[in-house]
Amino acid sequence: MKTKIFYKKKIIRKLKNIKDPRGDLSVGNFIDNIPFRPKRYFIFKISDKTVRGEHAHIKCHQFIICVNGSFKVEIDNTKTKKSIFLNSPKFGCYLPPMVWSKLHSFSKNTIAIVFASHLYNEKDYIRNYKDYVKYKNQRK
């Protein structure tokens, strides 16, 4: 599986982790760790083998942090595919606009927070993979 294109976008970002007897702290700064200024966040709490995502965003950047549990993120930009396993708040997964993503293989009690660069707008979603490929090819 090729990863060159995704590598350039630095999909997996290591965040600062401060170990402390009172409890570990995971820290991220917007812009240097998380490469956009968020306007919105959402949190999902999942306990079963479901699938989320399966869409692309036209303009919206997203940054996913797994706070508890674990899951996989499949990322596809029509040329390369990458599978990322998230199981720690020490790392974040950056999803630039115009990539197709799918979240799956959730463990029990998974909680993740997603920061988004734009407010919720259904018009920013491409929910059909064929439409995504068509849109992507048109923009070349």
Could you identify the residue written with the tokens 């036209």?
58
Q: Which pair of tokens denotes residue 122?
A: 């259904």
Q: How far is the CB of 4 from ligand TYD (least distance, A)?
A: 27
Residues that bind ligand TYD (CB under 6 A): 40, 42, 52-53, 55, 120
> In terms of CB distance, is 90 or 102 closer to ligand TYD?
102
Q: How far is the CB of 54 from ligand TYD (least distance, A)?
A: 7
Q: How far is the CB of 126 from ligand TYD (least distance, A)?
A: 12
| Rg of the chain in Å (alpha carbons) | 15
> In terms of CB distance, is 11 or 103 closer to ligand TYD?
103
Q: How far is the CB of 52 from ligand TYD (least distance, A)?
A: 4
Q: How far apart are CA 22 and CA 17, in angstroms?
A: 13
- DSSP secondary structure code for residue 79 in this structure: S
On the 0-12 / 13-18 / 19+ scale of CB atoms within 10 A, 18 is exposed
> In terms of CB distance, is 17 or 69 closer to ligand TYD?
69
Nearest alpha-carbon partner for 78 in 53, 56, 94, 61: 56
Whether 104 sits among the annotated catalytic residues: the reply is no
> In terms of CB distance, is 55 or 136 closer to ligand TYD?
55
Catalytic entry in 55, 61, 104, 118: 55
Residues 6+ apart with CB under 8 A from 84: 11, 12, 72, 73, 74, 75, 93
Catalytic residue list: 55
